[in-house]
Amino acid sequence: VPLLLGEKYRPATVPLQIMAFIPGLLMLTQIHSTYYMLACGYDKEWMRIILTSVAINFCVLAPTLMFLRGSVALAVTALIVEGSASFLYWRFYHSRSSEPDVLAETV
């Protein structure tokens, strides 16, 4: 960060290091949520996971703000929320993909 943006942006280094894992989690989330759940008609289940992620966001953000600097707390919260959402989408996908002919029923 200091090399590209200068010394005044040095405090952004730690939040960016924490958030470096989020693009990989977003990739998994996109594959399991949009390309599977929405394409196969699991709209209600998709919305339930979204609402669960929102609830996790508020539950995690309050405690992290008490113990960490604001930008670091937001980065940690984003990582936890995206990780939990990715896990929930993956779990839904694997619970449905083990059923026989799951894709044949939707086509």
Q: Give this prediction's pTM.
A: 0.79
pLDDT recorded at residue 103: 52
Res. 18: pLDDT tops 70: yes
Flag whether pLDDT at 12 surpasses 60: yes
When pLDDT is averaged across residues 13-35 and rounded to a whole number, the result is: 89
Residue 83: per-residue pLDDT: 94
pLDDT band at residue 40 under the 50/70/90 scheme? confident
Return the structure tokens found at 13.
């280094």
Span 44-55, pLDDT tens digits? 999 999 999 999
* Cα separation values, 70 from 58, 65, 67, 78, 96, Å: 14, 6, 9, 12, 39
Angle at the Cα of 21 (from 67 to 15), degrees rounded to 5? Answer: 40
CA 83 to chain centre: 5
Residues 69-83 have a mean pLDDT of 93
Mean residue pLDDT across the chain:
86
